[in-house]
Amino acid sequence: MELRHLEYFVAVAEEQHFTRAAKRMRVAQSGLSASIRSLERELDAELFVRHTRRVELTDAGQALLAEAHRTLASAAAARNAVAAVRGLLRGSLAVGSEQCLGVIDLPPLIAAFRRAHPGVEVRLRYAGSGHLVEQVRTGQLHAGFVALSGPAPDGVRLLSLGTESMTLLCHPAHELAERDEVTVEDLTGEDFVDFSPDWGARGVNDLTFARAGAERRVAVEVNDVHTLLDFVHQGLGVALVPAPVTRKPHAKGLHAAPLAGPGPAWQVAVALPSGTPAGPATGALLQLALPDGPR
């Protein structure tokens, strides 16, 4: 089994199309298709269901995809480790982050890394923490800056960056705008604007209400911070958000009140694969992100 065949397989699986995958890999479609057929013969299994306009993974293909990601990541780590011994830092670094983590300022961090290591190609993507942790676990990301409400999932280790409290945001005309502090009981019966379930803040909120035995109605579900703030500005619901969100310029004019009492923490951390040591490029990024070591 050649690494090239696995690279082509991953490209087809992610693009769900042979032509787009061939363009992405900069090879002729005939050559890519031949490599996939060769891989299927070697494994004695069909990896894709071929439709007229797209392809989709079979069960065998799904099983191979996670292992292919890990194998390719390990091969890249091996190449980069050898380069590091020779005094070089090169290759690629795939990093993910959830929005508005507060305790880490990602743009200047990535800029500083690029200045220090121009030979490393950095790919950065934003998504919810649940999605990012899964991509770290399967080797699609080298590191993820995430916020979780519980322990690390299997296959992932977390290096703590800090914690933030949860805070109510509401329209200044809302009756809760008179409160300097709120409780879960105060929020019972309110319409909420909240993030999708794979965001860290949503996990903290769901766990907070579940532990209190209180029901919560999420009327509006969004996937970015500014949209959440827009809906709260329009009085279409209240929001429980990590404290850094309340300090954003777009939150100006909204009433902010801390959530009282002990509860699940919004924990910001760096997620890394637990089964393999960090590669040289990842290690260099962590040195910039954690100059005093893990917290």
pLDDT at 88 over 70: no
Q: Dihedral sign, CA of 83, 107, 164, 242?
A: negative
Longest Cα–Cα distance of the chain, Å, equals 69
Across the range 50-77, mean pLDDT stands at 87
Q: Which residue has the higher pLDDT, 47 or 139?
A: 47
pLDDT of res. 138: 85
Q: What span, in angstroms and rounded, lies between the C-alpha atoms of 45 and 27? A: 24
Question: How many Å separate Cα 111 from the centre of its chain?
Answer: 19
Q: What span, in angstroms and rounded, lies between the C-alpha atoms of 7 and 282? A: 21
Q: What span, in angstroms and rounded, lies between the C-alpha atoms of 250 and 237? A: 16
pLDDT digits (tens, 9 = 90+) for 144-179: 999 987 788 888 999 989 888 899 999 999 999 999
pLDDT of res. 86: 52
Highest mean pLDDT among 42-51, 149-158, 286-295: 42-51
Q: Residue 179: count other Cβ atoms within 10 Å of its Cβ.
A: 16
Q: Quickly tell me which residue has 């009327």 as its tokens.
A: 219
pLDDT of res. 79: 73
Which of 136, 112, 141, 137 has the alpha carbon at shortest distance from 124? Answer: 141
Which pTM was predicted? 0.69
**SS3 for 123?**
strand
Inter-residue contact 149 to 158 (CB < 8 Å): no
